[in-house]
Amino acid sequence: MIIAGRNISKYFPIKSGSLFGKPLMLKAVNEVNIEVNEGEIVGVVGESGSGKTTLGRLLVGLLTPTSGHIFFDIPDDKLKEYDEYLVNGEKEKYQKIEREYSILNKSGNKLKSIRKSMNIVFQDPYSSLDPRYNVIDIIMEPLIASGQLSSDKRYARAMELLDEVGLPRDFAYRYPHELSGGQRQRVAIARGIATFPKFLVLDEPTSALDVSVQAQILSLLLRIREKYNIGMLLITHNIAVISYMADRVNVMYAGKIVESGPKVDIILQPDHPYTKALISAVPGKSVKANRIILKGDTPNLINPPLGCSFHPRCPVAFGICGWTIKEVYEDLKYLIENKYSEILDNKASVNINNENIVIFNANLDKVKKIIEEEMNNIRSLFAIDIVEEKEGHIQITIKKYRVPKMVHHKNKMISCLLFDLNDN
């Protein structure tokens, strides 16, 4: 593995409401495992705010993770051992591997040499190039910083790189404002590969470009991968780009990877309900009949939904996906006090105490019938465990939720209770 992340989390503190209160935490990346092999393009897709960019920045060391470890150039068997130790809880053994390979435990010259072998290409070529440097200076800068070549060789290497990315040599003394978007992105890529890195993060490399230019940049990246055997992490929201470029795909939602596996299995046979919806939402020439339209928006990451963070939007969510008593209460209140108030003679009222929902002045059979009827429209009703009559009112208890774990399914990893249950 050229790079491997284990249980990486990144929380950003947000100002809390009160002056002395604890700062709230925005959980941008939450317990993510990711691996990139040499010469492999790994895609990360997700909606905006799902933590894709933060993950990329964590892997190249631009941000420090709140918890978890990032291993650089770790042999595959060591990584396997590490995973085993982690599962068995053999603290001394896994800490030894962490000391040896984790970039978080390195400093000074060692860190510098690792930094040399990783780089990142940013999303917006209009703001990631220094307007006061000309093209050749921009490309030579990482070479100067890493101090590997003498000045003549640096110049020769920079010129070589210009050829490599398909820019004429007389562009060397132009400034970024004289270049078009596609040309700037080529300069950014040349800067990214200048120090012969082994690992390159591409953060939305083509989202600011037009389609015709995008195709040029994508084929340039593929050519570079062939030539230098660089492992790449391609971050994008464009599923078509991922399906063209990547070997393996990770789908992120609300700071977590929900499905990961080989490209073909993810794009053509998605299994996680979110991946299914995401891929069916891609507009394309083959207009799909069974398009899944998700309701609602991406969750707030300061207070993410409990259990599986996708459950409020999930079209197939069921009882233990993470419904809280409050969510069930609100839906029941709407049903019984508004939608079906006629049936219950306008008298029924819904209340909540710590563990139960209590309905006053209602008929048990009618309430049961309402719940049964609405079950398929309002998914939260699946969480209702027992409906019983107690001391003249109706008491409703709900099921306990579970947090989905990453499990093997076919040849991918999925974090969804649908597959978790089948395996047990």
Partner 1 sequence: MEQNILLVNDLRVHFFTRRGTYKALNGVELIIKKGEIFGLAGESGCGKTTLGLSIMGLLPRNAAIITGKVLLDNFDLIAPLRDFAQKNINNFNFRRSENIIKKLNDKLVNIRGKKISMVFQDSMTSLNPVLQIGYQIAESFIVHQPNQLLKRKLARVNAKQNQLEEILDMLKNGASEDEVVAFAESNGLSGIEEQVINVWRRNDMSEANKEKIIMSLHSEKLGFFEKIFVFSNKNKAQSLARVPGFSRMYKNTLIKEGYRKAVELLSMLEIPNPDRVVKMYPHELSGGMRQRIMIAIALANNPELVIMDEPTSALDVTVQAQILELIKSLKGRFNTSFIIISHDLSVLAEVCDRIGIMYGGRIVEISSKEDVFKKPLHPYTQMLISAIPTIESQDLRGIGGSVPDMRNPPNGCMFHPRCPYVMDICKTKEPKMLEKDGHLVSCFLYGEDS
* Residue number, 8 or 370, with CB nearest to partner 1: 370
* Residue number, 165 or 277, with CB nearest to partner 1: 277
Work out the burial of residue 244: count CB atoms within 10 Å of its CB; fewer than 13 is exposed, 13-18 middle, 19 or more buried: middle
Cβ partners under 8 Å of residue 292, min gap 6: 276, 277, 280, 281, 315
Where along the sequence are the contacts to partner 1 (CB under 8 A)?
Answer: 47-48, 180-183, 210-219, 237-241, 243-244, 267, 277-287, 291, 293-294, 297-298, 338-342
* Residue number, 230 or 267, with CB nearest to partner 1: 267
* Residue number, 267 or 413, with CB nearest to partner 1: 267
Give min distance, CB of 10 to partner 1, in A. 21
Give min distance, CB of 182 to partner 1, in A. 7
Cβ partners under 8 Å of residue 147, min gap 6: none
Determine the Cα–Cα distance for residues 123 and 194; give it in Å rounded to an integer: 18
Give min distance, CB of 329 to partner 1, in A. 17
Give min distance, CB of 293 to partner 1, in A. 6
Give min distance, CB of 215 to partner 1, in A. 4
* Residue number, 155 or 171, with CB nearest to partner 1: 171
Which phi and psi (to 5°) does residue 351 adopt? -130, 165
Q: What is the residue type of 19? A: L
Give min distance, CB of 420 to partner 1, in A. 24
* Residue number, 237 or 402, with CB nearest to partner 1: 237
Determine the Cα–Cα distance for residues 137 and 154; give it in Å rounded to an integer: 10
The DSSP result for 10-53, as a single string, is EEEEE--SSSSSPPEEEEEEEEEEEEE-TT-EEEEE--TTSSHH
Q: What is the residue type of 353? A: N
Give min distance, CB of 282 to partner 1, in A. 6
Q: What is the CA radius of gyration of the chain?
A: 26
Number of H helices, E strands in the chain: 14, 15
H/E segment holding residue 414: strand 412-414
